[in-house]
């Protein structure tokens, strides 16, 4: 599972060396921060990133402005049931007579919030486990890697269903359950990245100067893997939004809250499919897909910026250069599959 890291030996012997620890104030080497800022600047130039960000901004704005655009409780019955889209109800009404547009707008709030919370919590847990695993190595690494792999292998959705069935229904439960099942993927990716940084000289130098483990892990190793943290975060958000919708569609969430998942649950429960009320289930599903697509675009953009090999060559000159560059390229050959894993 994990070979013993040669850097660990360096640390063991270096700590004993006298004199090295007498200059605690000076950081071994300023952690290269430039990459992080450069990442954001290149994001602005990347077409995929701009499109993705634009879609996300629109959805967040709609979610925030829901009380203004569609005032009142969205689940209120306002008109005759199953009206097709018209000028009074832009997206029609459900089989119960609720306005679909209001439901969709208000649904964005819960769905985006849960997605964001799951993203933050799951990637935080992933960072913690991945960093600790790579930094401490040995027994800690073995144990944490084992735990990660077990959680990766246990099939996610059935576990989600079981957990959701035993816990009291509600949005908080969904977040907790999704974090439990979602952190392992990011932990594994982050561990391997942290492991390669752990072996760099500047980390060894910090260890020699006697920096605290926490400082090295979070202030020196973490900033250098900002792009990977970002892709795993985006992947976790996609996972969160999609899985929440899936769970709620199965009726395992709190069916009285308004979210895209519960909208779809009610649409299918009211038989919108069989009566032909396509407007009852199309908007919510489309919203989920658009948000997930926007996040995936951002993800690929980050991937392309940090891994130049994946950039598709534009002009003929670029292509010729790429062909010539084949043998001289010395970037690491690990293809980034983070985005693909995250999309699941």
Partner 1 sequence: MRFILRRLGFYLLAFWVSITLNFLLPRVMPGDPVSRMFARSQGQMTPEQVDQLRKLFGLDHRPLWQQYTSYVHDMLTGHMGISISRFPSPVSEVIASQIGWTLLLGGTALVIAVVVGNLLGILAAWRRGGVLDSVLPPLLVFIGSFPYFWLAMGALYLFGVVLGWFPTGHAFSVGLTPAWTSEFVSDVATHLVLPAATIVLVSIGGWMLGMRNTMIATTSEDYIVMAEAKGLRPHRIMFRYAARNAMLPAVTSLGMSLGFIVGGAMLTEVVFAYPGVGYQLLAAVQGLDYPLMQGIFLTITAAVLLTNFLVDIVYVRLDPRVRVA
- Pick from 61, 69, 150, 321 the residue near partner 1 by CB under 8 A: 150
Per DSSP, helices labelled H in the chain are: 6-16, 34-45, 47-69, 100-136, 138-153, 156-166, 171-198, 201-209, 213-215, 226-249, 260-269, 272-275, 278-306, 316-325, 338-342
Which of 77, 213, 319, 320 forms a contact with partner 1 (CB under 8 A)?
A: 319
Question: Quick check: 284 and 263 in contact, CB under 8 A?
Answer: yes
Determine if residue 90 is left, alpha or beta; phi over 0 gives left, psi from -120 to 50 gives alpha, anything else beta. Answer: alpha
Binding to partner 1 by residue 266, rule CB under 8 A? Answer: no
For residues 227 and 318, give the distance between their C-alpha atoms in angstroms, rounded to a whole number.
25
Identify the CA nearest to 98 among candidates 227, 255, 313, 263.
Answer: 263
β partners of residue 93: 99
In the bound state with partner 1, the residue whose beta carbon lies nearer, of 26 and 331, is: 331
| Residues in 277-296 at the binding interface with partner 1, rule: CB under 8 A | 278, 281-282, 284-285, 288-293, 296
Is residue 268 within the footprint of partner 1 (CB under 8 A)?
A: yes
Q: Does 155 bind partner 1 (CB under 8 A)?
A: yes
In the complex, the smallest distance separating the C-beta of residue 320 from partner 1, rounded to whole angstroms, is: 12
Using CB under 8 A, which of the segments 28-36, 125-133, 215-223, 321-329 binds partner 1?
321-329
Residues 85-144 that bind partner 1 (CB under 8 A): none
The binding track of 162-181 with respect to partner 1, each residue x by CB under 8 A or -, is xx-xxxx-------------
Q: Give, in order, the Cα–Cα distances in Å from 89 to each of 175, 190, 232, 248, 273.
A: 32, 47, 39, 25, 20
Q: Would you tell me which residues interact with partner 1 (CB under 8 A)?
A: 146, 149-150, 152-159, 161-163, 165-168, 238, 242, 245-246, 249-252, 264, 267-268, 273-274, 276, 278, 281-282, 284-285, 288-293, 296-297, 300, 309-310, 312-314, 319, 322, 326-327, 329, 333-337, 339-340, 343-344
């Amino acid at each position: 599972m994990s070979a013993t890291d040669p850097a660990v030996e360096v640390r063991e012997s270096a700590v004993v060396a006298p004199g090295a620890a007498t200059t605690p104030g000076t950081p071994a080497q300023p952690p290269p921060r430039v990459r992080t800022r450069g990442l954001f600047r290149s994001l602005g130039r990347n077409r995929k990133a701009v499109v993705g960000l634009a879609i996300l901004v629109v959805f967040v704005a709609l979610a925030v402005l829901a009380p203004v655009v569609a005032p009142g409780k969205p689940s209120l019955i306002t008109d005759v049931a199953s009206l097709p889209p018209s000028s009074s109800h832009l997206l029609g009404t459900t089989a119960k007579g609720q306005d679909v547009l209001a439901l969709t707008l208000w649904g964005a709030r819960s769905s985006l919030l849960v997605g964001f919370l799951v993203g933050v919590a799951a990637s935080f847990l992933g960072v913690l486990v991945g960093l600790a695993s790579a930094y401490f190595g040995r027994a800690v690494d073995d144990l944490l890697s084992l735990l990660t792999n077990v959680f990766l292998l246990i099939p996610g959705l059935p576990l989600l269903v079981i957990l959701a069935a035993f816990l009291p229904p509600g949005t908080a439960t969904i977040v907790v359950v999704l974090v439990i099942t979602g952190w392992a993927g990011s932990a594994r990716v982050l561990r391997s990245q942290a492991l390669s940084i752990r072996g760099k000289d500047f980390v060894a130098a910090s260890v020699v100067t006697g920096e605290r483990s926490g400082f090295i892990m979070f202030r020196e190793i973490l900033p250098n893997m900002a792009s990977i943290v970002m892709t795993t975060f985006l992947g976790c958000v996609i996972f969160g939004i999609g899985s929440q919708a899936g769970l709620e569609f199965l009726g395992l969430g709190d069916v009285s809250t308004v979210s895209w998942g519960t909208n779809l649950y009610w649409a299918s429960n009211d038989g919108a499919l069989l009566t032909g009320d396509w407007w009852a289930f199309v908007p919510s599903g489309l919203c989920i897909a658009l948000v997930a697509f926007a996040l995936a675009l951002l993800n690929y953009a980050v991937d392309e910026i940090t891994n130049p090999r994946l950039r598709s060559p534009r002009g003929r000159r670029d292509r010729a250069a790429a062909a010539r560059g084949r043998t001289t390229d010395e970037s690491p050959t690990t293809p980034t599959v983070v985005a693909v894993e995250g999309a699941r």
